[in-house]
Amino acid sequence: MADYLNSYLFIGAILFTLGAFGVIVRRNIIVVLLSVELMLQGVNLSLGAFSTFYHDMGGYMLVLLSLAIAAAEAVVGLAILVALSRHVDEFYVDRLKSLRW
Amino acid sequence: MSEAPWLIPLSPLIAFAINGILGPRYLRRATGVIGSLGILTSFLLTIGLWLDLPKEDSKREYILYRWLESGSLKIDIGFTLDELTVVMLLVVTGVSFLIHVYSNAYMEHDNSFARFFTWLPLFVFSMIMLVMANNFLSLFVFWEMVGVCSYFLIGFWHDRDSANNAAMKAFITNRVGDFGFAAGIFLIFWNFGTVNYSEVHASIGTITSGVATTIALLLFVGAMGKSAQFPLHIWLPDAMEGPTPVSALIHAATMVTAGIFMVARNIPIFEAAGISLIIIGGIGAFTALFAATIAVTQTDIKRVLAYSTVSQLGLMFLALGSGAYVAAIFHLATHAFFKALLFLGSGSVIHSMQNEQNMHEYGGLKSKLPWTYATYVIGGLALSAIFPLAGFWSKDEILAGAFFKGASSNGDVLFLLFWIMGLTASLLTAFYTFRMIHLTFHGMPRNRSLYDHAHESPWLMVLPLVLLAALSVAAGIGLGFPPEHGVIHDYLQHVVHSKHFELTGDSTIIISLAIISTAIALIGMMAASAIYQRGRPSPEAMGRLFPVLYTLSYKKYYVDEMVDILIIKSSKAAGFVLWAVDAKLVDGMVNLLGWTVKAFSSIGRRIQTGQVQNYVLIMATGLVVSLGIIMVMQ
């Protein structure tokens, strides 16, 4: 079982990295939000893998929490998006720079 | 009177207060009477003091109250009651009274009549307190106060720019002298722990002669400022902007004599510093000659008298330097009489000539102003030291004193030079005095319209002239005969005793010196008569004869111009430099600081792009780097 743990962690890491990459690079706001979700899922996977491997329920507890938070945060992010849509025409992150120097 | 000497300065002070508060609105003409009565009271009280002068040492100092006490410094408001005080007070109050009476008529048409009689009694009060003071600090306070009153009175007609400037010049020049004076007083306190006259004089032996010399010279700087010796003489001729009674009182008889009084009061200090007396004598002799050469060419009648005062003050300092202290005080008194007489007489002339002061507009006034003429000639004879008038006795004693110190083996040969300078000054004095008299009273009138309107002055002005003339005739013989042993010498001998050199008192020398100086004076008189009696050589004609000397004399040797360049313009230039440093350099550096901050921030702020993704990138990079470092450290 031990060597299988690394595979799960590996995948979790890939998910996380892809998510981070998306947050930094992609221009579309909705894609950025998706990427944030992806990051969270990668973390969840790693947590679940640890929990199973060490026979400790604590991991899955944290996963539950994390999912709830991910959902809430997605709601808030989309609410902000809706509010933003009233002021801009296109959802490109690099256009939103009024807090520039 | 020795029980309550404070009454003497009190009455002019009350007159000042009444005239100042009630004068302008309610009293007008009465202020003149109040002022005169205040001074008369002082004069009578002074006679009372004279008759009641205490003999025991303990009673000769009267403390009014303790002014301040701080550690070892104890200063009182006190009075010194000795013969020197009495002599000075008699002169001050007596002459002041006559001038107050005179001013009642002279200032009659002036709108600020009440203001005049506010300041004049205040001045007399300050002068009395100065003379009666028993410590240096008291002296200094009233020294400054007479300067302040002089400022008010010179600038009395304050709508005139020239008067205001002259008042400021007088005060500032005095201040320069007072700077030295104050430094001397500080040194006195530092070395003696007290500023009381009697204590300082008693312990004069406890300091080195170097310190004593420094103190003496610093005190003399103060005297130079107040008594208008070169180079601090520049204020006195300009002070003639004030009304003529002011010139008579302050700048002839009283304030300017304060310097001489101060030196006479502190003879132990000056004698402990032998060289200071030489310097005093030298500056006195030089100033006497210097001012006399200027007086010869002046055209304003009051300026001639002003430079004459400077010259005579120089002679008094020469007397002090020669150790002939009684002669200095004697000359102070006689000079007060005849100089006040001459000033008041010139006021009479100016008054009748409708404020014209240029002598070249005068001429032939002797028939129009007989009383003024007669008294003026008496004053002139006294000033020129013609036997047997007052000036002869006192001035001769001064010159004899200088000669004695110069020719004696225990004296100083330099004083022979000073004696010659004094003689030359006497020659010039006789010359310019009679030039003045001839130009004013003899010859043909030069300004017909003014001449026609001239008339003798009212009796209120003539009476003081007559009294002063009587004093100018009698005071010399009365006080100073026989030389060295007259009334004044015996009276002052406790307080002020002249130094005795080898030849002092030798009667053959005295008589020969008297003959020499009288001859010199007569030569001066006759030269003036020969040149000026009939006509009027115009200034230009006389000037063409000796162009360089005339210009130097008429332009007062350019002393004022040099002061302007050396002191005034250089101070302004230094001020400009300092302004430039402050405004350009200091402010520039502050500006540079601000600019630097701006420059750096304009680079640094570019990190704020406003794009969230940049921020995320930076955060992620930072996180990775930190984790990497931690892992490497493991």
DSSP string for A24-76:
HH--BHHHHHHHHHHHHHHHHHHHHHHHHHTT-THHHHHHHHHHHHHHHHHHH
Within an 8 Å CB–CB cutoff, is residue A93 touching chain B? yes
pLDDT at B508: 82
Average pLDDT of the residues in B32-37: 90
Residues B383-428 have pLDDT tens digits of 998 888 888 888 988 898 888 888 877 777 888 889 999 999 999 9
Residue B81, both tokens: 């009651």
In this structure, of A89-98, B104-113, B171-180, B565-574, the range with the lowest mean pLDDT score is A89-98
Beta strands in B44-124, from DSSP E residues, in sequence order: 61-70, 73-80
Q: Residue B536's pLDDT band (boundaries 50, 70, 90)?
A: low
A23 at the B interface (CB within 8 A)?
yes
- Amino acid (one-letter) located at B235: W
Task: Using pLDDT thresholds of 50, 70 and 90, give the confidence band for residue B451.
Answer: confident
Looking at the predicted structure, is the pLDDT value of residue B274 above 90? no
- Determine contact, residues B408/B501, Cβ cutoff 8 Å: yes
Contact B334, B475 (CB under 8 A): yes
Q: How far apart are CA B170 and CA B69, in angstroms?
A: 33
Q: B319-342: per-residue pLDDT in tens?
A: 999 888 888 999 999 999 999 999
Distance, CA of A1 to CA of A47 (rounded, Å): 16
Kind and range of the H or E run holding B433: helix B414-441
Q: How far is it, in rounded angstroms, from Cα B552 to Cα B290?
A: 11
Which of B605, B606, B620 has its CB closest to that of A20? B620
pLDDT of residue B540: 63
Closest CA of chain A from B598, distance in Å: 14
Q: Where are the domains of chain B?
A: 1-177+229-265, 281-545, 562-633
Give the CA count within 13 Å in the CB-facing half-sphere of B526: 6
Question: Which token pair is B302?
Answer: 């009051």
Enumerate residues 6+ apart whose C-beta is below 8 A from B92: B124, B127, B128, B131, B253, B254
Q: Is B530's pLDDT higher than 70?
A: yes
Confidence (pLDDT) at B97 = 94
Residue of B nearest to A36 (CA): B616
All domains of chain A, ordered by start, with CATH? Answer: 2-93 (1.10.287.3510)
Cα separation, B591 vs B500, whole angstroms: 73
Among chain A residues, CA nearest to B602: A101
Q: How many Cα atoms occupy the beta-carbon half-sphere of B73 within 13 Å? A: 13
Residues in chain A closer than 8 A to B609 (CB atoms): 97, 100
With beta carbons less than 8 A apart as the criterion, state whether B254 and B226 touch.
no
For B506-509, the CB contacts below 8 A with 24+ separation are B506/B404, B509/B400, B509/B403, B509/B404
In order, the DSSP letters of B147-185 are: HHHHHHHHTSSTT-HHHHHHHHHHHHHHHHHHHHHHHHH
Euclidean distance between CA atoms B322 and B315, whole angstroms: 10
Q: CA dihedral defined by B483, B485, B491, B494, rounded to 10 degrees?
A: 110
Taking the C-alpha atoms of residue A6 and residue A10, their distance in angstroms, rounded to an integer, is: 6
Do residues B371 and B461 touch, judged by C-beta distance below 8 A? no
Which ipTM value was assigned to this complex?
0.86
Question: Between chains, do A101 and B613 touch, taking CB under 8 Å as contact?
Answer: no
